[in-house]
Amino acid sequence: MSILTQYWVKEFLRFFLIIQAIVLSIFVAVDYLTNMDKFLKSGITLVDAFGYVLLKAPFMFVQLTPAGTVLAVVTVFGLMNRNNELLAIKSGGISIWYIVTPAVVTGICLALLMFFLGETVVPLTMSKANHIKYSVIKKNRNIHAVRENIWIKGEDIISHFKYFNPTDKTISGITITFFDKRFRILRRLDAENGKLKDNDSSDYTVEDNKNTDIKQDPQKVKWILSGVLEQTFDEKIEEFVIKEYDEKEIGLELKPEDLKAVVKKSDEMDFRELSAHIQKIQNEGYDATTYKVDLFAKSAFPFICVIMAIIGAAAGMRSFVKENLAVGIGIGIGASFFYWIVHGFSTSLGYARMLPPFISAWATNFIFLCIAVIYLLNTD
């Protein structure tokens, strides 16, 4: 490693660690203070609440690394530009590519670090944080999930769903069992699929449709089940009467947000576990598009560190940054913000099945890589 490279890496690490420490400290403080009322209402101690916030710090470190990278690179090159160090290097016959090489290599190293943390530390800490959030703070103790199997216990009802799709808020493999006070089975509903009823039909009444189970209870959410087999116990003949429906509407004290809370999320699984999860979902005949997009995004997102390093280098070497470093920093922040917008839009198209999962996850990287290289080639 040359003296120039050592000098650049040393300066970069100094600014990068300072930026990450400041931003993470702000995140921890804001998250802790803004949720203080929730912590107090839940009965969790303030020390445990602070531990809960810290569990989310590794995830935030990974998410903030691209922004920290571009800001640190802009700062280092901007200061070298202001001190005429870049001019001296170029005057010595050193090409621009040699100057940028340490930034690109550092970006690659940070990308590998992000991927490593995303595969080891983040799934573990986020799993514990989500458990505390939904079991201790929100106290959703009547809902339990093992991978895609969800069990919900009510006062006189037990529901089981094999799969919940958080994108279109549909449930599949449905079994709902109703009991009396002596815990005897009164009725059982089996259905292939279920979807949330449109809010526009909130004035729906029992008389509107015979195939309904809706009672006027504001706590219940309306679901439309398809492919329904209903078994009802008839006390007169002491046997179950079986009926089939193409569709049946039922009211459940269950919101999609409750299901999202217990379904294992992509950030709680490493690459191999998520791949196996996708394979299992597909083998059971369910749609795994959401998880596929998240799988490809796991490998695509860390690569942005390399792109941000190139953008930061190109911005820091601009002539106007020599006089006004804040402009270069603003370019870095803008690039990070714009990347998040485009990446979010692209992945949402993947979730909606408008783009293939691989393209939706990697398209933003390809676009920004082209922009970064063109920006660098046009550097003064």
- Same structural domain, 7 and 130: yes
Read off the pLDDT band of 151 (50, 70, 90): confident
Determine the Cα–Cα distance for residues 148 and 294; give it in Å rounded to an integer.
16
Question: Is 289:353 a contact under the CB 8 Å cutoff?
Answer: yes
The verdict on 161 and 245 lying in the same domain is yes
**How does DSSP classify residue 264?**
P
Asked if residue 200 has pLDDT above 70, the reply is: no
Output the pLDDT for position 34. 92
pLDDT tens-digit profile of 117-130? Answer: 988 898 889 888 88
Amino acid at 271: F
DSSP line for 176-237:
EEEE-TT--EEEEEEEEEEEEPPGGGTT--GGG-SSEE--S-TTPEEEEEEEEEEEEEETTT
Say what the pLDDT of residue 217 is: 52
140 part of a folded domain: no
pTM above threshold 0.85: no
Query: How far is 125 from 55, CA to CA, in rounded Å?
Result: 5
Q: Write down which residue in 246, 262, 278 finishes a domain.
A: 262
For residue range 215-230, what is the model confidence (pLDDT) as tens digits? 445 567 888 899 999 9
Examine the domain organization and report whether 99 and 220 are in the same domain.
no
The answer to the question of residue 143 being in a domain is no
| pLDDT of 198 above 80 | no
Does 169 reside within a domain? yes
pLDDT at 255 over 90: no
Model pLDDT, residue 52? 92
Same domain, 187 and 46: no
Residues 196 and 285 in one domain: no
Q: How many domains does the chain have?
A: 2
Task: Report the pLDDT averaged over residues 346-353.
Answer: 91
Is there a domain that residue 105 lies in?
A: yes
Q: Does any domain span residue 141? A: no
**Arithmetic mean of pLDDT over the chain:** 84
Residue 380's pLDDT band (cuts 50, 70, 90)? low
Task: Give whichever of 107-116, 125-134, 144-153, 201-210 has the largest mean pLDDT.
Answer: 107-116
Mean pLDDT computed over 78-106: 86
Structural domain including 275 reads 3-134+265-377
Per-residue pLDDT tens digits for 305-347: 999 999 999 999 888 888 888 998 999 999 999 999 999 999 9
Beta-carbon neighbour count of residue 225 at 10 Å? 25
As a whole number, mean pLDDT of residues 15-29 equals 94
Q: What is the pLDDT of residue 252?
A: 78
Q: Which of 210, 232, 262 is the last residue of a domain?
A: 262
Query: CA-to-CA distance for 13 and 9, rounded, in angstroms?
Result: 6
- The residue ranking higher by pLDDT, 181 or 341, is 341
**Band of residue 205 on the pLDDT scale cut at 50, 70, 90:** very low
Mark whether 171 and 242 lie in a shared domain. yes
Produce one character per residue of 286-304: b if its CB has 16 or more CB atoms within 10 Å, e if not. bbbbbbbbbbbbbbbbbbb
Specify if 285 maps to a domain.
yes
The answer on 218 and 112 residing in a single domain is no
Give the range among 23-32, 273-282, 332-341 with minimum mean pLDDT. Answer: 273-282
Domain stop point among 207, 236, 262: 262
What is the model's pLDDT at position 262? 64
Q: Which helix (H) or strand (E) holds 256?
A: helix 256-262
Q: Which two tokens stand for residue 108?
A: 């690659």
- Please state the rounded mean pLDDT for residues 100-128: 91
Q: Please give the Cα distance from 231 to 177 (Å, whole number).
A: 9
Percent of the chain with pLDDT over 70: 89
| pLDDT for position 140 | 57
* Same domain, yes or no: 257 and 275: no
Residue 144: the pLDDT is 53
Same domain flag for 339 and 198? no
- Are 248 and 279 contained in the same domain? no
Query: What per-residue confidence (pLDDT) applies to 348?
Result: 92
Do residues 180 and 39 share a domain?
A: no
Please check the confidence at residue 256 and state whether its pLDDT lies above 90. Answer: no
- Taking the C-alpha atoms of residue 141 and residue 129, their distance in angstroms, rounded to an integer, is 15
DSSP for 147-188 reads TTEEEEE-SSEEEEEEEEETTTTEEEEEEEEEE-TT--EEEE
